Structure 1
Amino acid sequence: MKEKEGKHYKKKVEKTSDTYSLRSLVTEISGIPEDHNEFHAKEKRIRRILQSMQAAEHVENGTPKIHKDKKAAVVKAIRDIDNNAELEKIVKKFSFSEGLTREELLYWADFQREWFKAEQPEDVQKQIDEQYEMMTETKYFEKLQLILDLIWKDTEMIGEINNMETKLKYMDEYKSILEIALIELRFSIISYLIQQDALKSVIEKNPHFQEIDQITDAKIAAEMQEKIQEEINKKLAELD
């Protein structure tokens, strides 16, 4: 493109962007050209899929902009969902904040793993695989289902009581017992999460802490621990 400058013309430099609009990726995702009569309908469908994916990741919906570093992963993910009825059913549940079955949770976890690995270096792909294998090995979802089954059996039994006043009385007692019994455990979990978030925050602010040769140095380790404690204190203050 050229624009006038006096009697001469100069070549206009096209601006480059680090992001893509969702519309610009519709053809790459679906194979449907922009001048095709089905393009608009496909764009709307792809937009709904992306919004459901955002809901799954607890990301607020806004004007969809895809960063260039995530383009390959997002294109692959939307294309897979667009052509997979089971995945589409799962992302629709995210949109309506519906719970997933154990099988759906595992299916979605496997899908996420491949989605996150798209276009990543080999070492990053290995880390992702290790994280998901660890999650599977600890049988988190199996244990979650056992807990849900226990609660369901108890509440189902209470539900068989005909007298509504008695039924509600037992439900209140059940809730009260759970709350008292879980106080110590909840405190332990919250403490762990605070430390986890503090460590993440410190590493983000001090990337050099990730270097193994420095972490093994006693001085660096002490400095890191001091900063972690500062972050923990901040988070505890926010809870007061």
Structure 2
Amino acid sequence: MEIRTARMFIVPLFCGMTSVVCFDAKAYAGVLYSTSYEAPDYSVGALSGQEGWLNSFDIDPVVTSGFARTGSQSLEVRQAVGENPFGLTFRAGPYSTSAPMVSVKHSIYLDGTDGWASPSTFLSPMALIGENGFVSQLAVRDGNRVEFGGGVADIETDRWIDLKLVLDFQTQTSNAFVDGSFIGSETFDNPATELVQVEIFHIFDNTTFNSPGLSSSFFVDDLSIKINSVPEPGTILGLFAIGGLGFATKLKKQA
């Protein structure tokens, strides 16, 4: 069963609740949405219910103080021992009506003292939904690599990592960047003309799904959604570099 099928019940419900209104992209000042989870907009404690964020399944992300990429607060996502390892937190839009190209960027920090041993963990710190359902996602495996569109970028725990997905609604493709470097491109899973929902989800213990898993934790900070007027630097050269690799096989949940 594909990982994405576990989320098919959520997407139609909340995308259906999302208001779809056509605005000229010129009405936006470039930044469609941004947050660093700072006060006074965010209070330390459970994220759900703050600034439009909601949760589903066993996940209870919290706004935490004293550890952040910028400022003093960030978002911590943790699975406690004994909880269902699958969880999802999301914020509905719409964010990008009529914008031809949109970039979504934030930073993550994987706590190296927690359970990231291979092959136990999978998370998508950035999954994007359009008006017709799922569009694209970045995949982090085992705390040591980011996968997207046939490309792989090595990462490390215990440091901030900058992640970005650029959605090109004209070509129906998304391009991924890790710490500013292009790693891959792929076609949208479903046709889309706008971004309507941003998600963060995880399967912390992929080998014992629905069973007690390791306690694992990661942090998220500095989320921004912006209109792009031109392709990202490096995208064209990157496409030539990895074009022969083909598209990645869909991630599958282990039985």
TM-score of the pair, normalised by structure 1: 0.23
Counting strand residues as a fraction of each chain, which structure ranks higher? Answer: 2
TM-score of the pair, normalised by structure 2: 0.22
